[in-house]
Amino acid sequence: MGCCWAHALFFCSSVFLTITQSTAVDTFNSSQPIADGDTIVSAGDTFVLGFFSPRNSSTNRYLGIWYRNIPGQAVVWVANRDNPINGSTGLLTVNSQGNLALVYNLNNGGSSIWSSNSSRPARNPVAQLLDSGNLVVREAGDDDNFLWQSFDYPCDTLLPGMKLGLDRRTGFDRYLTSSKAADDPSSGGFTYRIDPRGYPEIIQREGSTERYRTGPWNGLRFSGTPYLRPNPIYMFQFVVSDQEIYYSYLLDNTSTVSRLVLNQNGVIQRLTWSGDTQGWVVYVTAQMDFCDRYALCGAYGSCLRGFEPKVPNEWELVNWSNGCVRQTALNCSGDGFVKYSGVKLPETRRSWFNVSMSLEECRGNCLRSCNCTAYANIDIRNGGSGCLLWFSELIDIRELEDSGQDIYIRMAASEIGKEPELNYPKETVCVYTLLIQSFIPLFWLLHVEATGNSETNSKSRTRKQISGETRGDPEDNARFGAEKDDLELPLFDIAAISVATNNFSLSNVVGEGGFGPVYKGVFKDGQEMAVKRLSKDSTQGLDEFKNEVKTIAKLQHRNLVKLLGCCIEKEEKVLIYEYMPNKGLDAFIFDQKQRKLLDWPMRFQIINGIARGLLYLHQDSRLRIIHRDLKASNVLLDYNMNPKISDFGMARIFGGNQTQGNTRRVVGTYGYMSPEYAIDGQFSIKSDVFSYGVLVLEIICGKRNRGFYHEDHNHNLLGHAWRLYKEGKPEEVMDETVKDSSWVLSEVVRCIHVALLCVQQGPEDRPNMSNVVLMLSSDILLPEPTEPGFFTERKVFEQESSTNEITITLLTAR
């Protein structure tokens, strides 16, 4: 079975092709196999079929199809994605029965690695690459009767004319599967396929876990995709019949190049090629924001009028997964319906539908069944038609600001007549325009098997909570203070920590900061953790330790390092974090070898992830947090290179609407601190924004702001970027090691523009993080930046050290 490998906007990757011969024809037969080094080109010069190697491998060879005249060689289909050929001995053949076969090592007897396995016999088969990007096998002379086609085996790309869906007669299913990585075409963890149960809709899954759904088709669009509307790029349709269910689209203008891609992170995007920028542009993204995450708020999760949170305490902690329950129970005979407008309809796998029934007939059918919970029209065109009934709790319902539709929800008689409303908590409302990330349930408790005494006693001691029975040195516990009552964290035994870190061996050290060393620890259950131990000589002390515990224990976000527990036994002050195998961002972007591993899509992912983490700290968490020490070494990278903000020892917690403060004890790192903070001790969310802007420029350039050197001037990195921006060539800021086909010029320029907005001299001129996230994730017009802070040429007397990062812990403000 074949499959595809397309590179989305954030993850498009260069492909190195070895081509020694390019045939002028678009067909081949059993006497004309395609060898590695040969290609065939579609008649309209649109697509190429041949062998290629991804960027991360010079020996793995794949048979694929890519665009002929687009730089970067965006691959749209791969035959052997999970079975690469080692070396250039591959050969594509079509046999007399009409089967395509990919073989290799013919000199050593030959082995088959992939076959089309067509079940239809052929007399005189030929293979042809069509201008649609479809590789077909057909009888010679019969252009319309395909024996086999690659369009039936999509991977992560849906091209115009392809069907995404199910043949009900044969059970044949066409769906997208993401690639594992930008430079690895093998099958990834995400799928995008039609679920035929109930009234069909398209579901995106990670493994077997549902992550997103489109909502049911309503005649105009899927109910959860308000952006899917008539447009100048493409026409679309959704077909539901006894024979098949599928979604497909065609381009309005054949000169337009556009494709639908499921990228390696599970994001569904329509990409359109821009000749102006010579790059792929995101025309639309399926997942509008994080509120589109499947069942984020459980049953009736928006808490409709007449419903209340099932677990109120969790709701207050922004954990909505248990959903809502009715305030008044239904009694069947006295129930009625409340109309809610502008919503994404709930999941439909347990629904029933009738395409010809009127809305009034639909209401009657629902009312007669005590198990019916809601009804709606199937088709909203021309006043509405058809009937859709739900017979279970309403899952994954949400309010839409635009193009939602009506649903009638069964309610107790006492609720009839009240104004319908979707009651999101005001402080945690999901903003339509922002890509707000996941809130992981707070206070996840981790059991660690301790050592020392009996197994039973050891386990019970490890599970004791700070809010309950305390242990350790009485003086330390007293000094730690009443803050313990505010926390729910596992209290780790120092003995278990010592064993996990090989007695705090130097060989286990993975980092060092002002707090002290950080060790890798492996506990008895195999769990890897990062152990941060307060050094006796640390410039930070118990206050910072308490601050970090109090701060992080209340914060849970995918772009923040997760605190798993702590230890305050005797003189030890230890924090236990999730382990970040790729260490700090600084180890990549400032290292001559490692920086080459960070292509542009990966850097763009990191830039966006840090922005979302800061947005959560500043706006969307229960507390308003100013980090005060955001820098490259305080951004850690997980197994998938996702960024996580760490080190909250210097953070400040604000309440209410407070967004700024003053201090005579300036903490942070030169090169990242805003002017008003470094000089006058004034810190705010805008001082974090300044640090973020510096960090973005460092990620793009691959050089530190502090100690930056250029032969033409004595400005720092901010000044260098500003000069290039004013000269109309901001792209020259880009790290030369990633100026290849993976970078998207429009994205790079927009990131530099946003960074310069963040590092403006005046804090009032800088955007807040919600605007930063919006500017990075959309094509809105950006304001012009003004001069950055510290835009003064330095007098350089000698070359500065390559490790120009000095952490300040005490500075008397002027």
Higher pLDDT, 558 or 191: 191
Q: Report yes or no on 7 lying in a domain.
A: no
Whether 622 and 570 map to the same domain: the answer is: no
Closest CA to 301 of 388, 423, 416: 423
Q: What confidence score (pLDDT) does residue 688 get?
A: 94
Above 50 in pLDDT, residue 709?
yes
State whether 264 and 131 are in the same domain: yes
* pLDDT for 548: 62
CA 813 → CA 578, 666, 667, distances in Å? 36, 7, 11
Task: Give the end of a domain, one of 578, 607, 624.
Answer: 578
Report the pLDDT value the prediction gives residue 455, as an integer from 0 to 100: 30
Q: How far apart are alpha carbons 187 and 81 in whole angstroms?
A: 7
Report how far apart, in Å, the C-alpha atoms of 130 and of each of 43, 93, 567, 775 are: 7, 17, 65, 39
My answer on whether 315 and 393 are in the same domain is yes
Token readout for 654 is: 């604000």
Asked if the structure places residue 448 within a domain, the reply is no
Least confident of 478-482, 489-493, 570-574, 770-774: 478-482
> What is the model's pLDDT at position 581?
84
Asked if residue 361 and residue 298 are part of one domain, the reply reads yes
Position 293 scores a pLDDT of 78
Note whether 611 and 736 are same-domain residues.
Answer: yes
Query: Would you say residue 689 lies in a domain?
Result: yes
Provide the pLDDT confidence category of residue 331 given band limits of 50, 70 and 90. Answer: confident
Per-residue pLDDT tens for 720-767? 999 999 999 999 999 888 876 568 888 999 999 999 999 999 999 999
Q: What is the 3-state secondary structure (H, E, C) of 181-246?
A: ECCEEEEEEEEEEEECCCCCEEEEEECCEEEEECCCECCCCECCCCCCCCCCCEEEEEEECCCEEE
Residue at 211 is within a domain: no
- What single letter denotes the amino acid at residue 242? D
What are the pLDDT digits (tens) for 595-631? 888 889 899 999 999 999 999 898 877 677 899 899 9
User: Who wins on pLDDT, 639 or 178?
Assistant: 178
564 falls in which pLDDT band (50, 70, 90)? confident
Going by C-alpha positions, the residue among 788, 810, 628 that lies closest to residue 705 is 788
Which CATH number does the domain housing residue 111 bear?
2.90.10.10
Q: How many domains does the chain have?
A: 4
Task: Give the pLDDT band of residue 535 (cuts 50, 70, 90).
Answer: low
Q: What's the mean per-residue pLDDT of the chain?
A: 79
- How many percent of the chain have pLDDT more than 70? 78
Do 485 and 560 lie in one domain? The reply is yes
- Per DSSP, 346 falls in state P
pLDDT in tens, 224-267: 888 788 888 899 999 999 999 999 999 998 889 999 999 988 88
Q: Is residue 5 part of a domain?
A: no
Residue 27 sits in which domain range? 15-187+260-276
Q: Residue 395 domain-assigned?
A: yes
Structure-model confidence comparison of residues 43 and 332, the more confident one:
43
Say which residues have a Cβ less than 8 Å from residue 348's Cβ, sequence separation at least 6. Answer: 197, 198, 199, 200, 201, 216, 388, 390
List, in sequence order, every residue forming a beta bridge with 75; answer none if it has no partner.
Answer: 66
- 796 shares a domain with 648: yes
- What CATH number did the domain enclosing 720 receive? 1.10.510.10
Q: H/E element holding 114?
A: strand 111-115
Among 10, 603, 599, 609, residue whose Cα is nearest residue 268: 10
Tell me the three state secondary structure of residue 393: coil
The string of pLDDT tens digits covering residues 120-173 is 777 888 999 999 999 999 988 888 889 999 999 999 999 999 999 999 988 899
750-780: b (≥16 Cβ within 10 Å) or e: bbbbbbbbbbbbebeebbbbbbbbbbbbeee
Residue 283 binned pLDDT confidence (cut-offs 50, 70, 90)? confident
- CA-CA distance, 787 to 718, in Å (whole number)? 9
Q: Could you report the per-residue pLDDT of 713-722, keeping only the tens digit for each?
A: 778 899 999 9
Q: Measured between alpha carbons, how far is residue 814 from residues 421, 669, 677 in Å?
A: 53, 18, 11
CA distance 143 to 140: 8
b/e per residue 471-488 (b: at least 16 CB within 10 A): bbeeebeeebeeebeebe
Could you tell me what percentage of the chain is helix, strand and coil, using 3-state DSSP and rounding each to the nearest 5?
Answer: 20, 30, 50
Q: Which residues pair with 661 in a beta bridge?
A: 683
Residue pair 295/321 in contact by the 8 Å Cβ criterion: yes
- Please compute the mean of the pLDDT values over residues 200-220 and round it to a whole number: 93
Q: CB neighbours (10 Å) of residue 577?
A: 22
Q: Does one domain contain both 627 and 696? A: yes
Query: What's the pLDDT at 143?
Result: 80
User: Residue 810 has which token pair?
Assistant: 């005490």
pLDDT, position 131: 95
Which of 562, 578, 594 is a domain's end point?
578
**Mean pLDDT of the region 196-215:** 93
Residue 101: is it exposed, middle or buried by C-beta count within 10 angstroms (0-12/13-18/19+)? middle
Considering the domain architecture, whether residues 499 and 626 belong to the same structural domain is answered as no
Identify which of 20, 13, 106, 62 has the alpha carbon closest to the alpha carbon of residue 738: 13
- CA quadruple 291, 688, 642, 709: dihedral, nearest 10: 150
pLDDT digits over 65-119, tens only? 999 999 878 999 999 999 999 999 999 999 878 899 999 988 777 788 999 987 6
524 lies in the same domain as 397: no
Element (H, E) at 147: strand 146-149
Q: Which of 578, 601, 618 is at the close of a domain?
A: 578
User: What pLDDT, on a 0 to 100 scale, did the predictor assign at position 241?
Assistant: 93
pLDDT band at 545 (very low <50, low <70, confident <90, very high): low
Residue entry with tokens 């902690």: 317
Going by their DSSP bridges, the two strands 21-22 and 38-41 should be labelled as: parallel
pLDDT of residue 444: 25
Specify the range with the lowest mean pLDDT, choosing from 235-239, 479-483, 544-548.
479-483
Which residues have CB under 8 Å from 484's CB, separation 6+? 466, 467, 470, 477
The reported pLDDT for the residue numbered 467 is: 28
Long-range contacts of 172-177 (CB under 8 A, 24+ apart): 174/246, 176/262, 177/3, 177/262
Q: Which residue's entry shows tokens 């260069």?
A: 14
- Mark whether 571 and 590 lie in a shared domain: no
For residue 653, tell me if it sits in a domain.
yes
CATH number at residue 571: 3.30.200.20
Domain shared by 565 and 678, yes or no: no
Q: Which two tokens stand for residue 320?
A: 């909505």
**Which residues are part of the catalytic machinery?**
629
* Least confident interval from 123-127, 375-379, 794-798: 794-798
Q: What is the pTM of this model?
A: 0.55
Q: In this structure, is residue 281 part of a structural domain?
A: no
- Category of 346 on φ-ψ map: left (φ > 0), alpha (ψ -120 to 50) or beta: beta
